[in-house]
Structure 1
Amino acid sequence: MFDYYDLGSMMMMVTESLQLVVLLVCCLTIITINCANATQNPNIYSVNPTIVHSAVSKGAVCLDGSPPAYYFEPGFGDGAENWIVHLSGGAWCMNVTNCQERATSSNGSSKKMGQLNFQGIHSKNESQNPDFYNWNKVLVAYCDGGSFIGDSEYIDPTNNSTKNLQFRGQKIFYAVLEEVLEKGLKNAKNAILAGSSAGGYPAILYCDYFRDSLPIKSRVKCLVDSGYFVHFKNPVLERFWSWRYGGVAALQGAAKTLPKSCTSKMKAELVQTVPLLDCLYAENIQEYTKTPFFLYMSAFDNIETQYTLGDEKYTTIDEGKGSACLNASLREMRSDFLNAIPKGNDPKHRGVFIDAMHHHTSLISRWSFEVAIEINNVSAPIAFADWYFDRKYRYLIDEIHTMPIKNTFKNVTYVH
């Protein structure tokens, strides 16, 4: 006999099963959409390295002898003929042991390089990066340990070839630039040579060469992001910088790569004792650079304070809990820094944005309007874009804060 109760129960089970299936389908659809959005996120997207195999025959290699590399994202729309070439940073190696360790990492070997997240000034989000979102973006991988200046070699005395070191940063720059020029940079309407941290110095050093590589009608300027480290007058504050730069200059063969306009002014005996040390400070080469450049940096750069005052002082400085002696050193460092940067009498050729937050580098993690630093209600991305496009020649310094402002956004310095 047919049982209506059993039929009702059966129908209810079928209905519940269908609802469960529909719910699962909806969840899977949402997950799929979210994954797709994450993949297509215009603020952050992954880029694979381009290995420049042809550079090896030109002597342009990383510390371990592997070919150099760069990361490339093509432009689109009305930005297809505009280019940013960005020299990445990642400190320096100052001695053979340090450089041999570095040669086993992505900062010394293209064999170790993988995907890289592009963001900040490389973002494709028009609302957060309106002036550069659709430009061609090139980030030159930093694998020479010496700010792209070197042209020398270290041969290990044990004849163990795995320990030999190649210091070919200058050749790396030329080789990568040559390849990128053929990709379309040589026809650029607008172009920027940028450099962050250890890449900031070569952004000044090669600024004119970059300008001369492009059509005369192109708008070409350079951007230095937290790479303008200065020579402190106080020998106690200066001692660690002299040690670092002295090591870099000796290893990298700086005598034949740095500009003669600077090196010719040094006495021969000084070159022997401190190999062209002074010419590794941006303040001593910027005066010879004809092409306009913009300096974006904190007067209390936290790599500057770390290397000068010691790692243990970082938290104390960031939280404003320094002793009277420490605070006096910070004021002295700020004074020397502001005296060493380009003067404000020609902002068309030397724009600046000098904030007081205790941080380092900004083009990657502080470029979006949500986290950008402001001076006089003008954000750094707007200040630079105004200056670059000749809308307004910005020369902005935070004159209000003579001590470091706490770093409220814990950005991480860019390395591969």
Structure 2
Amino acid sequence: MDFNRIKEKLNILADAAKYDVSCSSSGSNRTNKNNGLGNTGNGICHSYTEDGRCVSLLKILLTNHCIFDCAYCVTRKSNDIQRAAFKIQEVVDLTINFYRRNYIEGLFLSSGIFKSADHTMERLIAVAKKLREEENFNGYIHLKSIPGASDELMYEAGLYADRLSVNIEIPTISGLKLLAPDKNHADFIKPMLKVKNEIIRYKDEKKIIKHTAKYAPAGQSTQMIVGATGESDKDIMYSATHFYKNYNMKRVYYSGYVPISMDSRLPSLGTEVPMLRENRLYQTDWLLRFYGFSVNEILDADNPNLDMDIDPKLMWALRNLNFFPVDINKADKHMLARIPGVGMGSVNKILNGRKFRKLDWDHLKKMGVALNRAKFFIICNSTDWERRDLDAARIRSMIMQNSQSKFKNQYTNQLSLFN
């Protein structure tokens, strides 16, 4: 083996893979068998498991050669970059050797599309198949689904991978036509639908036949590029909701566009999407999946974009002050979850705690409620109430001042550790 050449390939293809953020996962439980290598537990790729472990993946492309010329992609065929490609056995050997050195607990493998979608998908599957069958590798494997790949190949991929994902890339069909005219939106949807249907079928069979093989036990995910075209946050979140509802996505990831070349269809070089916008989209995603919100409650024709200064739950609350104050000792779970500064963990503590006594400010603080925000929207077993007759603008101003003051104090305390 030419170690210098392998190292050179690794540098090129690991760097090219950094633009894909949809590689964290949980939910798979592939246990070790027949004295094989590894276990797949909860949490993958710079995530933390329930027992506090941080686990990571070898994240690479099989190749950065590509037959497409998507304007937003660093591996586009017209881009003048250094090209490389791994052999199937090279990826297998890297994965096993890195695992044995305790560098990784799994593999995230994507690829540029070379020759055809099916040819590329066959090679990705070949890597996973060799790891499972020849190396008895039971660690985590995440394969990218290649748009346009056949149903037969998608079925086979799910037998070896813990998670599959196909990046929808641009949130709207019109945006995709503008930036990737060679690609067809239907080619992205086809593998998603196949994976969804197979997961459902295998779960149904598992109820009848206990030893049914696993099929993509960690489900599937997708990624959208934010800011390459003019979609609003409302457009993006409606697209995300569509994929959660119709394709049973485990996660939708939002990746801020990073300018990589000059193109009249794209934002100018140096115009990067603020990380804060990504953060606000993830916060909204969380509210939709776990807090009972719908997209039209947070984003509508009058408010098509998220507020960069405050989080989306606070944004909603300030526009709907008629729902407040909420009595902590009487409100149902649905309304408790809508209070700014109250997370789902605190909601459950409140529901359990008020079974035994009426809760006051001290109880809420001990339960982890962020009172610097929540105090404007709740009443409890205390005589004072912070909001009084304040309007939305004044509440917003006070909360932002409190947050800035808290951040300044934290920064001062951290700085003092170095003096």
Output the TM-score relative to the length of structure 2. 0.30
Q: Which structure would you say has the larger Rg?
A: 1
> Of the two structures, which has the highest relative contact order with CA contacts closer than 8 Å and spacing of 6 or more?
1
